[in-house]
Amino acid sequence: MATRPVLLTVEDDPAVSRAVARDLRRRYGDTYRVVRADSGPDALAALRELTVRGEATAVVLADYRMPGMTGVELLEQAMDIAPTAKRVLLTAYADTDAAIRAINEVDLDYYLLKPWDPPEERLYPVLDELVEQWARNARPSFEGATLLGHQWSAGTQELKEFLARNQVPYRHLPAADAAAVMEAATLTEADLPAVVLADGQVLRQPTLRELAERCGLATTAGSALYDVVVIGAGPAGLGAAVYAASEGLRTLMVEQEAIGGQAGQSSLIENYLGFPRGVSGDDLAQRARDQAVRFAVEALTTAQVVGVEPRGDGRVVRFSDGSEVTAHAVVLATGVAWRRLAATGADAFAGRGVYYGAAQHEAAGCQGEDIYLVGGANSAGQAALHFAKFADRVVMLVRGGDLRHSMSEYLVARIEAQPRIEVRPRTEVVAAQGDGRLQRLVLADRAAGTEETVAASRLFVFIGASPLTDWLDESFLRDRHGFLLTGPALLDQERRPPPSWPLNRDPYHLESSVPGVFVAGDVRAESVKRVASAVGEGAMAVTLIHRYLETI
C-alpha cells in the first residue's frame, strides 16, 4: 500500500512536456509520481500498464492538438482504462470552443489555457481542487497479486486458497473493478482465472507450481544431498524441520500445497500451550515457517513426492518432475485430507459452494448469509464459532445425537451460548443442487425419517480425514485405514519385527517399516490427533534420527 498515485501528462512538444512535468513535480512531487507520454497511444499504453500493476492514476493532463490522436480522443479512451482519474485538457485560446464541447462529450473535468504562468495562480489552484476530489474517493494502491476470476469458479477458489495459505498478499477483485484490469491486461473470459503480479506480469490460468515460482516460492531442491528430508509441512513437519535444523542437520522440508497443513486452515486453535487467547492456524503456521527459515531450513512448495526408497545408507526421495534428492533420514509428516462428502452432487460443486475445511479468508465472504457446516468434532466447532462472527446464521449438521460425543466441552458451551449457531443433530446432507454453483441442500433428519430442501450458497465440510499414504509402495506397512505403522505397532504377538525388517534391532518408536524413515503426526497409526502432539512427535523424530545416524 505504498506506491504514490500518478499524474500523467501527455504532450508531443518536448519543451512543453518538460515544463508541465517540472511544475507538477515542484508542487506535487512529494505525494504523487509524474509520468510523461509524448503521444496518445503511448499514454494509453502507460495507463494500461499502471492499471494492471494496481497503481492509481489521479489526473491525466493531455494537450488538445497532437498528431494521430487529439487530446479529447485520448481522454475519452482513458475513461475506460482509468475511470476514476480526473481528466484535464491543455489547450490554446483558439481551441477553447472545442474544450468546452469536450466537457459534455467526454465528461471533461477541466480545461487549462496555455501558457499557465504563473502556475501559482493559473495551474495549482485548479489541480489542488481536482487531486483533493480524487483523493477523497480513491482507494489506496495495492502492492501484491491481483486475482481475476469468478467467485463460483473452482479454479479461482484453488488459486485463492493457495495465495492465502502461502501468505502471498493478494486481492480478489469484484466484477466491476475486474473489468478495467481485464481490459488493461487484454484478458478475455477464456483467460480466467488469471493472476496479475505486482510487477505487471499476467498469468493466464496458471498452475499452482507456475504461480509459486512467479511469486518467489522455491519449487525445486537446491542440493542433491541432505541430512534430513521432511515430507509435509503441517505442525509435525514444521516441528521436525525446526528441531532438525536447530541441531545442525541440513534440512529440506517439502510441501505439496501450503505450509501449515490441515491445521493451517483452522480459524482458531485455543488449546495449544502458550497461546491463552488462541491462535489461528495460518498465524501459527507463519510463525513456525519464520522460525524454520531462521534456522536455514530449505522449504519447497508445490513439490510432489512420489516415492521414498533405500539406496545404500541413504534414503532417496523422488519427485513427480523426475528429480530426486538423497537424505540420511526421512520424516513422513504428510498428514491427512478431509474425507469427501458422499452426498449426491457434492463433488460437482467442490470449490463452487462446497468447501473442505475453512480458512480464515473464507469467513468475510459469508457476511450476512446463512451457511451450513457438516461435522461435530473440534475443527467444526471452531469454524462454526468463527463464521458466526460474520454470517447471520450458522447451521451445524451433526450426524450423531450430541456434540459432546466428539467435541471438547469448552467448545460445546460456547456454541450453546452463541445465538447465531443452530445445531441439528442426526441430520445429514443427501444431495447438493444448483445451476453452476451450490444453491440448495437436501437434508435428511434420520430421527424423524424426513427430508427437506433448504436454500444454501455455502457448505463447509469437516467429516474426518483419510491419511495421505497412497503414494508409498508396499514396503511401508499400514493399518486397515491406511495409517502408517511404526515402532511397537510393527511387532507381532511374539514381539518380533516384520519379516522384511533388515536390521538386528527393533524399529524405534516412530520408525516405519523402512529403516531410517520416521513418521510423525496425524499420518501415523494410533497418533493423537492434536496440534501439540504432532509438534511433539516431530521433535521426537529428530531425537530418534540422531540415534539412527549413530548406527549407520
Give the tens place of pLDDT for each residue, 102-114: 777 778 888 888 8
Q: pTM of the predicted model, to two decimals?
A: 0.80
Which residues have C-beta within 8 Å of that of residue 325, sequence separation ≥ 6?
221, 223, 224, 225, 226, 229, 252, 316, 317
The Cα-based distances of 171 to 69, 158, 166, 361, 434 in angstroms read: 35, 14, 14, 11, 27
Residue type, position 472, single letter: L
Mean pLDDT is highest, among 1-10, 102-111, 314-323, 334-343, for: 314-323
User: Residue 527's pLDDT is what?
Assistant: 94
The rounded distance, in Å, linking the Cα atoms of 492 and 287 is 41
**Residue-range domains of the chain with CATH:** 6-137 (3.40.50.2300), 145-213 (3.40.30.10), 225-337+466-549 (3.50.50.60), 347-461 (3.50.50.60)
All three cell numbers of 360, joined, read: 480464515
User: Residue 1's pLDDT is what?
Assistant: 39
For the chain, the farthest-separated pair of C-alpha atoms sits apart, in whole angstroms, at 106
Nearest to 114 by CA among 6, 17, 36: 17
User: Residue 451's pLDDT is what?
Assistant: 96
19-65: pLDDT as tens digits:
999 999 999 999 999 999 999 999 999 999 888 888 899 999 999 98
**Between 164 and 489, where is the model more confident?**
489
The rounded distance, in Å, linking the Cα atoms of 111 and 64 is 10
DSSP 80: H
